[in-house]
Amino acid sequence: MRRHSIGIGLALALVGGLAQAADLTPGERQSILGAVDKSAPRTAEVARAIWGFAEVGYQETRSSALLQGELKKSGFKVEAGVAGMPTAFVASFKTGPGPVIAILAEFDALPGMAQTADPARSPIAGQEAGHACGHHIFGAASVAAAQALKDWMVANKVSGEIRVYGAPAEEGGAGKVYMVRAGLFNDVTATLHWHPSSENSASQSVSLANVSGKFRFTGAAAHASAAPWRGRSALDGVEVMNVAVNMMREHIPDGTRIHYAITEGGKAPNVVPDKAEVYYYVRHADPQVVRDVVARLMKAADGAALATETKVEFEQTGGVYNMLPNDTLGRVMDSALRQVGGINWDAKEQAFGEAMAKQLPPNKATLASVGVIQPYSIGGGGGGSTDVADVSWVTPTAGLGTATWVPGTPAHSWQAVAAGGTSIAAKGGVVASKTLALAAATLFREPELLTKAQQELEAKRGSDFVYKAMVGDRAPPLDYRRSASGAE
């Protein structure tokens, strides 16, 4: 599938010249909502299957294939393996010239998070990963939204194109960055996305730019007691580096976040480890600050290698921009969410929620809040990072969150995994599908909103902006979930 940038001026001219500009009729809204409801049982099946696959970044073979199959059956043309990523895909349905509306879909799980669908900590024997960020329902609900929108476009002779971007490895692998870098969004008029949450909100938040990567130290193995002088500990290199970085924290710009995990450190204490690895994240609201701090981490690693007589190599596994929230699209999304409304739990779901609430950290959230739409705002948040941010710098972008977890549930927790395997997550996905489809249909019907959204983007980033990926020219790190020893 080739991508040709037709130039934003021409694109907006095409949008503005469409004869289809008109508000959605009540009948059209109902047809979209009804289509999502009709497909809801299948969407739940797909999501639950992906929840069970629990495949980590760039290894989501079955998850990606399942979503691609659903789209093909609905008449979408699918190109798989885009941007050098075997599990990435772009699915397209086009009725004619007009706006190109993209919907993002994710499907990767997190390592170390296996959990049954029960409101008590219960790891799954023999399974490592789990969907602690809800990407299983993310992907399934995005596909359902695109399918409903496709049916509406055909029934109402709406000219344009809907695309689903199947993006792997959001959790640290920055899959969307490689799609943006490859130019796959060059002709997209607007991009919509959503994310599982513990509340319903279309507020447009900011995020932090991020660079992630692994420092791999190599030393010399030896018997730790009989001949320790013959060894050079790779783990010592990691630990000296970490000490240096922790000393650095006092002398970096405010708002910087640095996190690390030692992912390889030896197997037996009586062996001087010759291989060790530490996995780092650096975040800040300014991408340049991130670059500068990472450069200082490099110096700390080099110094640690010198001090311990080891060698060190760095592999950057990810790098993303900060999010550019779009108020124009955000308000369209908020309006659509309010038309859809909140979520109603049945008695079984209520019982699950009550039991899970006892397993959560103290918070002010009530179970009834799943039926509430939160007030709209723009510019809040900022604690996390996402590769959606790179998309937001090249095309107007907006998202929403829906209550797929018990209120008060933190992301990346076993509690999120547990709820994700229940009908609670499926109901949240239905709200997301309906909202995405209504918002996209509104944009097709009111192209002046697309013009305004583009103008807002250019005002925020600058009209002369040229995208340069934070990952540089590196190939996608398809094995970034593997440690220095080669184990996953």
In terms of residue numbers, what domain contains 237? 211-320
Residues 164 and 297 in one domain: no
Residues 226 and 349 in one domain: no
Instruction: Point out the domain boundary residue: 320, 350, 365.
Output: 320
Whether residue 92 has pLDDT greater than 90: yes
CATH of the domain at 283: 3.30.70.360
Alpha-carbon distance of 184 to 111, in angstroms, equals 29
CATH of the domain at 182: 3.40.630.10
End-to-end CA distance of the chain: 32
Instruction: Point out the domain boundary residue: 264, 286, 320.
Output: 320
Residues 385 and 369 in one domain: yes
Instruction: Point out the domain boundary residue: 320, 342, 367.
Output: 320
Domain contains 347: yes
H-type helices in 182-264, by residue range? 234-248
Residues 65 and 23 in one domain: yes
Q: Is 40 helix (H, G, I), strand (E, B) or coil?
A: helix
User: 261 and 309 in contact (C-beta within 8 Å)?
Assistant: no
Alpha-carbon distance of 55 to 424, in angstroms, equals 21
pLDDT in tens, 445-486: 999 999 999 999 999 998 789 999 999 999 998 988 874 444
Residues 173 and 74 in one domain: yes
Residues 259 and 404 in one domain: no
Residues 231 and 349 in one domain: no
Domain contains 472: no
Residues 163 and 14 in one domain: yes
Residues 307 and 161 in one domain: no
Tell me the average pLDDT across 31-42: 98
Query: Which pLDDT score, from 0 to 100, does residue 22 have?
Result: 67
Strands 204-206 and 378-381, by their bridges, are parallel
Domain contains 221: yes
Alpha-carbon distance of 122 to 115, in angstroms, equals 6
Whether residue 189 has pLDDT greater than 70: yes
Domain contains 39: yes
Give the confidence band of 23 by pLDDT, cuts at 50, 70, 90. Answer: confident
Domain contains 46: yes
Return the DSSP state at 405: S
Domain contains 34: yes
Query: Domain tally for the chain?
Result: 2
Residues 311 and 358 in one domain: no
Mean pLDDT for the chain? 93
pTM over 0.85: yes
Whether residue 102 has pLDDT greater than 70: yes
Residues 304 and 335 in one domain: no
Cα 471 to chain centroid, rounded: 17
Domain contains 150: yes
Residues 89 and 161 in one domain: yes
Query: Which pLDDT score, from 0 to 100, does residue 197 have?
Result: 97
Q: How far lies 120's CA from each of 115, 197, 364, 463, in Å?
A: 9, 19, 21, 51
Query: Which pLDDT score, from 0 to 100, does residue 18 have?
Result: 40
Domain contains 474: no
